[in-house]
Amino acid sequence: MILRSAQLFCFAALVSLLAACDKTPSDQAAASADQVVRIGSVAPLTGPQAHLGKDNENGTRMAIEDANAKGIVIGGRRVHFELISEDDQADPKTATIVAQKLVDNKVSGVIGHLNSGTTIPASKIYSDNGIVQISPSATAVSYTRQGFKTAFRVMANDAQQGRALGEYAVKNLGAKKIAIIDDRTAYGQGLADEFIKAARAAGAEIVAHEYTSDKSVDFTSVLTAVKGRAPDLLFYGGMDAQGGPMARQIKALALNVKLMMGDGGYTPEFVKLAGAAAEGTYASLPGVPLDKMPGGQEFSARFVAKYQPIQLYAPYCYDAVNVMIAAMQKADSVEPAKYMPALANISHQGVTANIQFDDKGDLKGGAVTLYQVKQGKWQPLETVGAGQ
């Protein structure tokens, strides 16, 4: 009985996952438009990273509403953009299913996915079907190294970010013995590996490398194992939902280390979850601080008025949509095959930066900014790399 129940449970869980993805596209087509162009948005809208996923969806939605308000004309016909939002649950398997669904829905382009672990497997499906994909937030290096012409991103990659973090940890913070924890996702692991390379090159010793998952809340046993190696800095490759409780548990175990994270930690959510333990934590975010972005303050004010405070990647999603539409206008076509060359050569002044892509589809000259929590708020420390 138990055995059968457990099997059934797994099966039913799978069915429910599939059912959860089966949402009908939002029916926003205005009657007045002559031509409907569908743009897909994929992010985890349920599960532990739902707060970030909703933020992405809202950033994308705002850009699409703005574009519709402008009454853009492409190929001599007025265009109405339609958002098709899908939930990949931050799960690589689900990501490929919803990617196929977007392809079947004949989208002209996709903004997503949020996580590197979902972006990479989905990118093959978009590439096979010739659909342009711009990830607002996938930072794993390998995403743009698969030889797919359809893959773009509007954020610096982990090689740039990991290097900035690793060098800062050793040179500016004087870390000598560093412990690593990563969440075994393509993002967390990739960033941790780049961090390790840079930290070793700068002369630090990696004394421990432990692992957790992107669903855990209890880190006491790995932190205890780390404590046995007496590091002076702990780098966590993962997201805020784990980083927050981890910061608390570090304090609770009286583990005396500096905590450092990548862009996954740079959220208001992290500070809220970690409480007093957030103080002094370091994190990085590709790009320049929001208030130093070309259109950052204006964007932030409008976004907050419409939805809720920005979690993390909303401005990047907004830019991803706009750069896609700019390429469509330049090529005077909404066919992915026709506007893709225009996108590859575009120079678009976005909210986050002036967006230009290199031959791999990576953002040219991506800057990385380091932040620290001071008095309960993320404060920029310094920006490295060529920013705009």
Return the number of the residue (53 or 109) whose C-beta is nearest other proteins. Answer: 53
Q: Which is nearer to other proteins, 275 or 294 (CB)?
A: 275
> Which positions from 38 to 57 touch other proteins by CB under 8 A, shown as an x/- string?
-------xxxx-xx-xx---
Least Å distance, CB 192 to other proteins, is: 12
Looking at the Cβ atoms of 253 and 381, the one nearer to other proteins is 253
Measured from the CB atom, the residue of 48 and 366 that comes closer to other proteins is 48
HSE-CB of 388 using CA atoms within 13 angstroms: 21
Q: DSSP states of 11-24 as a string?
A: HHHHHHHHHHH--P
Residue 113, preceding bond cis, omega within 30 degrees? yes
29 makes contact with other proteins (CB under 8 A)? no
For residue 378, the minimal CB distance to other proteins (Å) is 16
245 sits near other proteins (criterion: CB under 8 A): yes
Binding mask 248-277 toward other proteins (x if CB under 8 A, else -) reads xx-xxxx--------------x--xxxxx-
Site for other proteins in 209-238 (CB under 8 A): 209-213, 215-218, 220-222, 224-225, 227-228
Cβ-contact 131, 336 below 8 angstroms: yes
CB proximity list for 296: less than 8 A, separation 6 or greater: 289, 290, 315, 351, 352
The answer to the question of residue 244 lying near other proteins (CB under 8 A) is: yes
9 sits near other proteins (criterion: CB under 8 A): yes
Query: Applying CB under 8 A, does 1 fall inside the site for other proteins?
Result: yes
Question: Six-digit token pair at 280?
Answer: 């002094």
Q: What is the DSSP string of 235-246?
A: EEES-HHHHHHH
| Cβ count within 10 A of residue 346 | 18
Q: Which amino acid is at 379?
A: Q
Which residues on adjacent β-strands are paired with residue 168? none
CB nearer other proteins, residue 17 or residue 381 = 17
Nearest CB to other proteins, comparing residues 82 and 269: 269
Interstrand relation of 233-237 and 258-261 (parallel, antiparallel or unpaired): parallel
